[in-house]
Amino acid sequence: MLVPTRRRIDPADVVGIIPVRWASTRFPGKPIVPIAGRPLLEWVLRGCLRSTRVKHWLVATDDRRIASVAENCGVKTIITPARLKSGSDRVAFVAARLRYRWIINWQGDEWLPNGRPVDSLVRALESDSGCEVATLARPLPANASRNPHRVKVVLSRQKRALYFSRATIPYTFSGNEPHWLHLGAYAFSRSMLLQFARWPQTPLEKAERLEQLRILEHDVPIAVAVCNVSTQGVDTPADARSLEGMIRNSRS
Give the tens place of pLDDT for each residue, 143-187. Answer: 888 899 899 999 999 999 999 999 999 988 876 778 999 999 999
Please give the share of the chain, as a percent, with pLDDT higher than 70.
98
Domain 12-112, classified CATH 3.40.50.720, yes or no: no
237-251 and 40-48 helices, crossing angle to 10°: 50
pLDDT in tens, 24-72: 777 888 999 999 999 999 999 999 999 999 999 999 999 999 999 999 9
For 132: left if phi > 0, alpha if psi spans -120 to 50, otherwise beta; the answer is alpha
Q: With cut-offs at 50, 70 and 90, classify the pLDDT of residue 252.
A: low
pLDDT in tens, 199-229: 999 999 999 999 999 999 999 999 999 999 9
Cβ-Cβ contacts under 8 Å for 229 (sequence gap 6 or more)? 112, 113, 114, 116, 117
pLDDT in tens, 102-123: 999 999 999 999 999 999 999 9
For 183: left if phi > 0, alpha if psi spans -120 to 50, otherwise beta; the answer is beta
Query: How many Å separate Cα 17 from the centre of its chain?
Result: 10
Within the chain, which residue ranges are assigned CATH 3.90.550.10? Answer: 12-112, 116-228
Q: Residue 35: which H helix or E strand, with range?
A: strand 34-35
Task: Specify the fold of 116-228.
Answer: Spore Coat Polysaccharide Biosynthesis Protein SpsA; Chain A (3.90.550)
Q: Which residues of 84-99 are buried (b: 16+ CB within 10 A; e: fewer)?
A: beebbbbbbbbbeeee
Give the residue-averaged pLDDT of 5-23.
Answer: 94
Pure H helices in 109-236: 116-127, 190-198, 203-208, 212-217
